[in-house]
């Protein structure tokens, strides 16, 4: 508290100031960290106290009960005023000229911090770890629940402080701190492909499709006789359940037996044809004709087969004589 405008009482530093953003002074580098600018009277009081260095402060918005932590950059502000980065004012929901409660604190050194970018664009940076390390050099402490700003390549990236250890507020000055990243806020997991459901029209079309063609079965053709006529023999189809080895082993015998059967049927049919006209050898298609189909030939054969008529015997040198003179 003020005493006559400049004095303090108590053993710790605790004061209320009007808060303004860094845009009110010509110091744009203030926006790249978490350090504030305080008046010279604050330095006088802090120097008279036995406090831990580096100087760290708790800043509180009593109206909305918002708390954060920061360091100090310079003591050149006007009395009764402080300047802080605009992103810190956004975290604490402060407007220009609002009152803020400032108190010096001692924070433990951080061992672990978990960060979560607002957008996945931050992961598109070629080396985000190096950019983050460079940016955090301008920070003195981190508070769980705050959102820090990282400026890179004329673009601002906001990152949430999800978790800090060993406490909710830690000092990151001259300490080795493990950093972990959570998925960005706008990150969406890729959707699993869903199998398309068949509609009614597609189901009806599949039902109306013609049946599949029968598979090829060997040795199912029709036999042909040497005289050109079709054979009455029809081979039995081979079962599809038969093994390939069985087909190979029995292929020769089965084919030979079928050919033998067809030849036997052809021979038997030829013998049957010769039996119709005993004592004669007939070749060609006439051998298989039925005598009933041609009545003239049947009558001639019947006359020749009569026992009363004999065929004339062959007589040698019984032909006529011809003279060379004519």
- Total domain count for the chain? 2
Domain carrying residue 81? 14-104
Same structural domain, 46 and 26: yes
First-last CA distance in the chain: 174
Same structural domain, 24 and 99: yes
Give the CATH number for residue 152: 3.10.330.10
Q: At 306, phi and psi to the nearest 5?
A: -65, 140
Same structural domain, 135 and 97: no
Contact (Cβ atoms closer than 8 angstroms) between residue 69 and residue 143: yes
Predicted TM-score (pTM) of this structure: 0.55
Boundary of a domain, candidates 104, 138, 170? 104
In a domain, 167, yes or no: yes
As a whole number of angstroms, the distance between CA 285 and CA 302 comes to 20
In a domain, 176, yes or no: yes
Give the CATH number for residue 63: 2.40.40.50
Boundary of a domain, candidates 104, 133, 161? 104
In a domain, 197, yes or no: no
Same structural domain, 84 and 127: no
Same structural domain, 75 and 28: yes
Same structural domain, 22 and 47: yes
In a domain, 295, yes or no: no
Same structural domain, 134 and 62: no
Contact (Cβ atoms closer than 8 angstroms) between residue 169 and residue 144: yes
DSSP labels, 41-67:
HHHHHHHHS---SS-EEEEEETTTTEE
Same structural domain, 97 and 118: no
In a domain, 19, yes or no: yes
Q: Name the region of 112 (left: φ>0; alpha: ψ -120 to 50; beta: rest).
A: beta
Boundary of a domain, candidates 104, 122, 137? 104
Same structural domain, 72 and 49: yes
Same structural domain, 92 and 116: no
DSSP labels, 242-260:
S-HHHHHHHHHHHHHHHHH
Going residue by residue through the chain (326 aa), what tens digit of pLDDT does each one get?
343 344 444 568 999 999 999 888 888 888 888 999 999 999 999 998 888 888 999 999 999 889 999 999 999 999 999 999 999 999 999 999 999 999 999 999 999 999 999 988 888 888 888 888 888 888 999 999 999 988 888 888 999 999 999 999 999 998 888 888 888 887 777 777 665 655 666 666 666 666 566 677 777 767 677 776 666 655 555 554 444 444 444 444 444 444 444 444 444 444 444 444 444 544 444 545 554 445 555 455 555 555 555 666 767 777 676 667 75
């Amino acid at each position: 508290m003020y005493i006559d405008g400049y004095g303090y009482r108590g053993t710790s530093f605790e004061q209320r100031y009007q808060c303004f953003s860094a845009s009110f002074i010509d110091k744009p580098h203030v926006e790249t960290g978490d350090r504030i600018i305080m008046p010279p009277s604050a330095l006088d009081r802090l120097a008279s106290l036995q406090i831990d260095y580096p100087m760290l402060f708790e800043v509180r918005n009593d109206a909305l009960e918002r708390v954060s932590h920061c360091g100090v950059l310079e003591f050149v502000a006007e009395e009764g005023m402080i300047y802080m980065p605009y992103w810190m004012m956004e975290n604490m929901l402060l407007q220009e000229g609002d009152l803020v409660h400032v108190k010096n604190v001692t924070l433990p050194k951080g061992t672990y911090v978990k960060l979560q970018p607002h957008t996945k664009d931050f992961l598109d940076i070629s080396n985000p770890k190096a950019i983050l390390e460079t940016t955090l050099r301008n920070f003195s402490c981190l508070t769980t629940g705050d959102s820090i700003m990282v400026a890179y390549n004329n673009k601002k990236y906001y990152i949430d402080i999800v978790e800090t250890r060993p406490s909710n507020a830690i000092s990151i000055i001259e300490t080795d701190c493990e950093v972990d990243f959570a998925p960005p806020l706008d990150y969406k997991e890729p959707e699993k492909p869903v199998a398309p459901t068949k509609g009614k029209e597609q189901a009806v079309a599949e039902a109306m499709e013609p049946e599949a063609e029968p598979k090829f079965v060997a040795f199912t053709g029709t036999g042909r006789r040497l005289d050109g006529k079709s054979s009455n023999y029809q081979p039995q189809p081979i079962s599809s359940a038969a093994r390939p080895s069985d087909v190979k082993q029995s292929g020769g015998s089965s084919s030979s037996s079928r050919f033998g059967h067809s030849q036997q049927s052809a021979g038997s049919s030829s013998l049957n044809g010769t039996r119709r006209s005993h004592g004669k050898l007939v070749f060609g298609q006439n051998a298989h004709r039925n005598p009933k189909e041609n009545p003239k030939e049947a009558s001639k054969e019947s006359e020749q087969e009569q026992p009363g008529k004999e065929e004339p015997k062959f007589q040698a040198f019984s032909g006529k004589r011809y003279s060379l003179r004519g």
